[in-house]
Structure 1
């Protein structure tokens, strides 16, 4: 009989193949709406992948198919070479959802112990509580826990089966800055030991800082897939921010390479493909001061690739 894989040996004992996730041409429609449109997704063991996109992009539907909660109309999904349902049954996959799944009249420890009783083999309760950063509140009633502490509890529950793949939905909702940092440090340590992580988040700074890969969806399709640097490079150009007394907006808009101009208080923000030429112009032909030049960030790419005006 095959047993649940232990993370401590995953890096050395887990086979290089099959992949953690192999999805090929998966499609899912609801009536006339095609929520996921021929998506291909390959994820290797130990990767941390951020799954981004606006509401309605198809992220949740894709994750549901990875978790075996729904079947694709066409295409195929395998998790460690198994069907999603088989992978979950064998303890290879856990999910941390944003809401639900907690009984407020139990303590934190009792909740984890109850969840552990559902598995034939688990990591020690104290171990997962410590990894989730809530060992010191084990006797606290769940109903008395903050939103961030409840999310950490869900994380501890997900770690019980020592899954090879962890799927997180808005994992740091309700956590303060320190809590978010500690949480992602723990995730990084797990990934270094072989665990694969896919997370959906609206905190673009988290995706930028902690993901090895960013997968961006729009209208059911993947429109970007790569490292944070590679994805950010898809939005060419830079932004020049300057205080320009009596700025001639029409002249600046007509300057070669300028794609947009925006006023924010006393400052003017100019998107351009040639920031050097624009900066020289501002310094020599205007009274501009407090000039700053920045590369486009992940938010700029997100807006560019997911806005209604972008190409499909």
Structure 2
């Protein structure tokens, strides 16, 4: 079942083309990572899917209907990039206020514990750090037991421990059958969470596949080894050295290893790995610099 859909969705802001004929389906049970450089159109697409903006052309659907219809938004949870919270209200009061809008909200204690906010229940939101406010904003997206959650840069400003706490909460929601669409600048975050990756650049979909398939777009492997001295080797596109190890980047790892062996090059601790999703992302978007889109 498709929960969110964009069909040839285009959005203009005056002369700026933010989205250019984007097609996207998010089916029940998926965990989809939406990647793209600043200005690629990620937030605009999110806003269309939840009814905060209307497409200039094409159409979007949420649970099979118009995203602007409250009946179709009832089962969706959202954390936008920026969230305003009443500074004088305590964390517990904010959760209670949002919970009152749903027939069967997650109990306050359970929600706060899930997102590592229990110790902040009596703190005013105006006195929270940026990372603490961000955790609260993400937690609020899950209050109403949504079927679909859209998270726009959910871990911005979080330290490593808080980021992993949030990852665990998202994984638990997904394991229970929930559907997630998230944007992130932390590519390791998408590698850790998403099953499917959609890359956007200049308002267009550049790639839509599994994490492994998107990573393989680059077609480069990293051959890491420990060696005192290495000759020039054919097919090596880049060499990096760190912590006593040498990393050779090549499009043909098998040939490189054969050349090392047949050439009698002394080495040890050989390891061959695919490139990271970050390198794939940079390769895909290399010619897709933003032109003022949002």
Q: Which category of TM-score, normalised to the shorter sequence, fits these structures?
A: 0.7 to 0.9
What are the Cα deviations for residues 193-250 of structure 1, in whole angstroms up to 9, with x where unaligned? 23211111111111011112111111211111122122222221312245666755xx
Q: Give yes or no for contact 2:36–2:42 (8 Å, CA) kept in 1.
A: yes
Among 162, 167, 187, the alignment partner of 1:179 is 162
| Gap change, CA 1:289 and 1:73, over 3 Å in 2 | same
**2: CA distance, partners of 1:164 / 1:142:** 27
Aligned length: 286
Structure with larger RCO (C-alpha < 8 A, sep 6+): 2
Per mean C-alpha deviation after superposition, the further-off stretch among 157-166 and 61-70 is: 157-166
Unaligned runs of 5+ in 1: 1-16
Per mean C-alpha deviation after superposition, the further-off stretch among 236-245 and 206-215 is: 236-245
Q: Does 1:156 align with 2:139?
A: yes
Q: Does 1:298 align with 2:277?
A: yes
Matches within 5 A, 1:1-312: 17=1, 19-87=2-70, 90-117=73-100, 119=101, 121-123=103-105, 124-242=107-225, 251-252=232-233, 255=234, 257-258=235-236, 260-264=237-241, 269-285=247-263, 287=265, 289=267, 291-308=270-287
What are the Cα deviations for residues 240-283 of structure 1, in whole angstroms up to 9, with x where unaligned? 245666755xx53xx2x44x224446765432222122123234
Per mean C-alpha deviation after superposition, the further-off stretch among 76-85 and 268-277 is: 268-277
| Gap change, CA 1:228 and 1:120, over 3 Å in 2 | closer
| Secondary structure, aligned partner of 1:189 | helix
Name the TM-score, length of structure 1 as normaliser: 0.81
**2: CA distance, partners of 1:222 / 1:138:** 41
1:13 corresponding residue in structure 2: none
2:292 corresponding residue in structure 1: none
**1: CA distance, partners of 2:151 / 2:51:** 15
Unaligned runs of 5+ in 2: 290-294
Q: Displacement, 1:113?
A: 2.0
| Gap change, CA 1:35 and 1:288, over 3 Å in 2 | farther
What are the Cα deviations for residues 2-49 of structure 1, in whole angstroms up to 9, with x where unaligned? xxxxxxxxxxxxxxx4x2112111112234432211111111112111
**2: CA distance, partners of 1:242 / 1:309:** 34
Q: Displacement, 1:184?
A: 1.6
Alpha carbon RMSD of aligned pairs, Å?
2.6
Q: Displacement, 1:50?
A: 0.7
| Gap change, CA 1:61 and 1:112, over 3 Å in 2 | same
Name the TM-score, length of structure 2 as normaliser: 0.86
**2: CA distance, partners of 1:192 / 1:153:** 21
Q: Give yes or no for contact 1:245–1:287 (8 Å, CA) kept in 2.
A: no
**1: CA distance, partners of 2:109 / 2:288:** 51
